[in-house]
Amino acid sequence: MLQKLQQAEDKYLHLEASLSDPVIAGDPAKCAQIAKEYKSLTPIIEKYRAFKSAQTRIDEALLLLEEGDEELRALANEELREAKELTETLKSELTVMLLPRDPNDEKNVMVEIRAGAGGEEAALFAAVLYRMYTMYAASAGFRCSLLSENPTELGGYRQLTFQVEGEGAYSRFKFESGVHRVQRVPETESQGRIQTSTATVAVLPEAEEVSIEINPADLVFESCKSSGAGGQHINKTESAVRLTHKPTGIVVECQEERSQFKNKDKALRMLRTILYDQKQREQADAIASDRRRQVGTGDRSERIRTYNYPQGRITDHRIGLTIHSIDRFLDGDIGAMIDALATAETAEKLKNQEG
């Protein structure tokens, strides 16, 4: 571990020197890439330097124990105890920080919510999930923008897609991929019977242009009138865009901007993200089954969470965690659940590393 940390610090110093190089400063793209890598290494280097400082304290305390008088030896023993405790704490934290990171963690995400089993009630639940995620995103400092929607007359969604932008968006939202189940009495139920409905959530890391190359000849663009709940702009201009990728048959639509050019740009970003996700899933199929069972794999067919309204609880089935504050949770207070899932993922990585 110490060898890895020293190599990381050597690289950090090299990056630091590169940022002061006039040649690199004249290349904005290269400079931004180096600055990003430098920033990502900063937390672990700061922790490593604190670890080395604690080790120096241990060495100095040991010297005092050999040479000092009785009073100095008492102080040295106390210093030694504190420095050793700090060293162990920092060592544990560094072990976690050295675990392989998901390369997508810092990326923006595209989130797709689809109504599953349950008809109109499932569509209404999809709207509840969308509200929950946008409220969480706002509280966490992320930016949300709706990309496409297929609303129902009662205020639900058969399907909707939105983007979440901000550093670390994927690291927080990736745990939401899967089947979400709700148990509640629908507003349309006259006899008070509890209905079980589902909605599926897919969280896709946004692909960079260099990640996925798209041949313009493989694309078919169509313009169409926007559709939705209404408004002055709806159905009056052909600003909405439908994009078809001929090799895969994937079709994406974007209608949220007034400008056809902006909708076309967003549609391209959506397509690139979907193709990137498809590529990742093909690679994931080659990974051993025990690896795929880890928390955070994002299997969309897996029932991950139940929202039980009568009992006021939310249960995440992957880690067996139940939270008894459904109102706050649905108002976007989902950070504690995400933290628990992230901790479980880290524990699984540590277990696999030890194995």
Whether residue 224 is predicted with pLDDT greater than 90 in this model: the reply is: no
Quick check: 164 and 142 in contact, CB under 8 A?
A: yes
Higher pLDDT, 349 or 326: 326
The fold of 2-97 is Methane Monooxygenase Hydroxylase; Chain G, domain 1 (1.20.58)
pLDDT for the residue 208: 67
Dump the DSSP string for 6-37.
HHHHHHHHHHHHHHT-HHHHT-HHHHHHHHHH
Closest listed residue to residue 126, CA positions, set 152, 146, 108: 152
Quick check: 316 and 304 in contact, CB under 8 A?
A: yes
Question: Which architecture characterizes domain 109-209+285-354 according to CATH?
Answer: 2-Layer Sandwich (3.30)
3-state secondary structure of 185: coil
Question: Which of 24-33, 150-159, 185-194 is least confident?
Answer: 185-194
pLDDT for the residue 351: 76
Question: Which architecture characterizes domain 216-268 according to CATH?
Answer: 2-Layer Sandwich (3.30)
Domain ranges within the chain, ordered by starting residue: 2-97, 109-209+285-354, 216-268
The Cα–Cα gap between 167 and 147 comes to 20
* Per-range mean pLDDT, top range of 162-166, 184-188, 249-253, 298-302: 162-166
The Cα–Cα gap between 80 and 61 comes to 6
- Find the mean pLDDT for residues 23-32: 85
pLDDT for the residue 134: 97
pLDDT for the residue 210: 52
pLDDT for the residue 294: 35
Residue type, 265: D
- Find the mean pLDDT for residues 282-305: 52
Cα torsion at 23, 24, 29, 35 (round to 10°)? Answer: -160
pLDDT for the residue 125: 95
The Cα–Cα gap between 145 and 161 comes to 9
pLDDT digits (tens, 9 = 90+) for 294-317: 334 334 456 899 999 999 999 999
Whether residue 213 is predicted with pLDDT greater than 50 in this model: the reply is: yes
Quote the tokens at residue 73.
Answer: 């030896």
**Averaged confidence pLDDT in the chain:** 84
Residue type, 120: E
For residue 85, what pLDDT band results from cuts at 50, 70 and 90?
Answer: very high
> Per the confidence metrics, is the pTM higher than 0.75?
no
pLDDT for the residue 209: 57
Higher pLDDT, 158 or 302: 158
* Per-range mean pLDDT, top range of 105-109, 242-246, 333-337, 347-351: 333-337
The Cα–Cα gap between 161 and 227 comes to 15
- Find the mean pLDDT for residues 77-87: 92
Quote the tokens at residue 86.
Answer: 């700090």
Whether residue 152 is predicted with pLDDT greater than 50 in this model: the reply is: yes
Beta strands per DSSP E along the chain: 109-115, 143-151, 157-165, 178-184, 195-205, 219-224, 240-245, 250-254, 303-308, 313-316, 321-323
For residue 126, what pLDDT band results from cuts at 50, 70 and 90?
Answer: very high
- Find the mean pLDDT for residues 115-131: 93
Quote the tokens at residue 186.
Answer: 């629908």
Q: What do you get for the CA distance between the two ends of the chain, in Å?
A: 16
Whether residue 82 is predicted with pLDDT greater than 80 in this model: the reply is: yes
